[in-house]
Amino acid sequence: MAIEVRIPTILRSYTGGQKSVEGSGATLEELFADLDGRYEGLRERLIDDSGVRRFVNVYLNDEDVRFLGGLSTSVRDGDTVTVLPAVAGGAR
Amino acid sequence: MRYESLLDAVGGTPLVGLPRLSPSPEVRLWAKLEDRNPTGSVKDRAAAYMVEAAEKDGLLHPGSVILEPTSGNTGISLALVARLRGYQLICVLPENTSAERRMLLEAYGASIVSSPAAGGSNEAVRVAKNLAAENPSWVMLYQYGNEANARAHYETTGPELLTDLPEITHFVAGLGTTGTLMGTGRFLSEHVPGVQIVAAEPRYGELVYGLRNLSEGFVPELYDESVLTSRFSVSSADALRRTRELLSDEGMFAGISSGCVLHAALGLAAKAQAAGQRADIAMIIADAGWKYLSTGAYAGTLAEAEARLEGQLWA
């Protein structure tokens, strides 16, 4: 089973510089736990007691997981999870 | 249609169907043409409301200086209002925005302070906040946290949509300051049971996200997650492709954020069609393509255009 997880620049120190890694799990929670096993400390940068950290955005196939099931969101083979920092955005 | 002066002509924009891009007569896309505002963007609504609110609060007097972190449309809108109401405007603008924006701002008489490209609008906000602290007499309207921004949409954009499309099922707009979605979203949710309020967020190149610590991120003060039904992240590749489709299929020359919004809207349309449900999906065309011509978005192959957009703030 392979789920692609795209890592933002700021967190690539945890993944040995890789911008994309693979993981497995039935939910986002399991997926992050799986990644943490191989890339120690990564999970803690993404999650705190209340769920996904405030200035971190996580997208499942481009949809913000806060509007799906948060950390309980189901994931499956072939999905893409993208992690991005929260920014002010572009040209307003 | 007749107006006493240009500022009276803000809003009241047309809602135009997209028959060629809509999947079927039961699943229809509609575009609200916000480029039909006095300075050519949806921001004219927020700018007019924010200045009026500041005047009512006694913050602005003839000759007052208005300061704003803005990489384009808000600055241009404020430049018009400032010009006509007798205020000076200083914009803090990231370096990596298109030439047309800077030229337009200066043509309207605004001054520009540049902030570093890396970190994009976050950095512009930071620089502006520092400047405001150093110059207490300057007025920073602060579009990211000013309730008049969202209120403009609650009082104008939302009601216009309801009048033109009472059968609306989805509202899709770009997510930036979040004003459009918060104001329009709240209004529509109060009047249309079950309406979906969907955000289309631009996903930029890595330069924009930078290397800043994750705990120093930025979430606009206006943002209230509970107003949205879903939020999509759209790549520049997809936004570009859809912007070109809008032009080639419907003849609509729109800015790149509109491509971003169309991508999300088409996803919603496909879902509705697959579920056998009818849908009337209204999307915001925030501005036309004029300011983006120099980015090369409309010429050459998609791959070439995408490469050129790398590192730029295109929405």
Q: Are B119 and B208 in contact (CB under 8 A)?
A: yes
**Is the domain of B183 the same as that of B300?**
yes
Q: From chain B, pick out residues whose CB is under 8 angstroms from the CB of A63.
A: 230-233
Buried b vs exposed e over A11-42: b needs ≥16 C-beta within 10 Å?
A: bbebbeeeeebebebeebbbbbebbbeebeeb
- Active-site entry in B22, B71, B236, B257: B257
**Is the domain of B113 the same as that of B201?**
no
**Is the domain of B181 the same as that of B288?**
yes
Q: Which of B113, B140, B167 is the last residue of a domain?
A: B140
Interface contact flag, A63 B206, Cβ < 8 Å: no
Q: Which of B175, B214, B230 is opposite residue A63, by nearest beta carbon?
A: B230
| Torsion (CA) B253, A63, B185, B40 in degrees, nearest 10 | -20
| pLDDT digits 0-9 by tens, B55-92 | 999 999 999 999 999 877 999 999 999 999 999 999 99
Least confident range of B56-65, B112-121, B235-244, B269-278: B112-121
- In the stretch 88-117 of chain B, residues with CB closer than 8 A to chain A read 97, 101
B257 is catalytic: yes
Instruction: Band the pLDDT of A71: cuts 50, 70, 90.
Output: very high
Distance from CA of A26 to the nearest CA of B (A): 22
Q: Are B279 and B267 in contact (CB under 8 A)?
A: no
Res. B245: pLDDT tops 80: yes
Interface contact flag, B209 A84, Cβ < 8 Å: yes
Q: Which of B140, B171, B189 is the last residue of a domain?
A: B140
Q: Which of B109, B140, B171 is the last residue of a domain?
A: B140
Res. B294: pLDDT tops 90: no
Tell how strand B27-33 and strand B15-17 pair up. Answer: antiparallel
Q: Complex ipTM, two decimals?
A: 0.91
Q: How many domains does chain B have?
A: 2
**Is the domain of B124 the same as that of B195?**
no
Q: Is residue B193 part of a domain?
A: yes
Q: Is residue B147 part of a domain?
A: no
Q: What is the C-alpha separation between B10 and B194, in angstroms, rounded?
A: 29
Is it true that domain A3-85 has CATH number 3.10.20.30? yes
**Is the domain of B171 the same as that of B88?**
no
Instruction: Band the pLDDT of B45: cuts 50, 70, 90.
Output: very high
DSSP conformational letter for A89: -
Q: What is the CATH number of the domain that holds B82?
A: 3.40.50.1100
B127: domain range?
Answer: 43-140
**Is the domain of B244 the same as that of B133?**
no
**Is the domain of B221 the same as that of B175?**
yes
| Those residues with Cβ within 8 angstroms of residue B296's Cβ, 6 or more apart along the chain or in another chain | B304, B305, B308, B309
**Is the domain of B54 the same as that of B10?**
no
Instruction: Band the pLDDT of A89: cuts 50, 70, 90.
Output: low
Three-class DSSP labels, chain B: CCCCCHHHHCCCCCEEECCCCCCECCEEEEEEEHHHCCCCECHHHHHHHHHHHHHHCCCCCCCCEEEEECCCHHHHHHHHHHHHHCCEEEEEEECCCCHHHHHHHHHCCCEEEEECCCCHHHHHHHHHHHHHHHCCCCEECCCCCCHHHHHHHHHHHHHHHHHHCCCCCEEEEECCCCHHHHHHHHHHHHHCCCCEEEEEEEECCHHHHCCCCHHHCCCCCCCCHHHCCEEEEEEHHHHHHHHHHHHHHHCCCECHHHHHHHHHHHHHHHHHHHCCCCEEEEEEECEEHHHHHHHCCCCCCHHHHHHHHCCCCCC
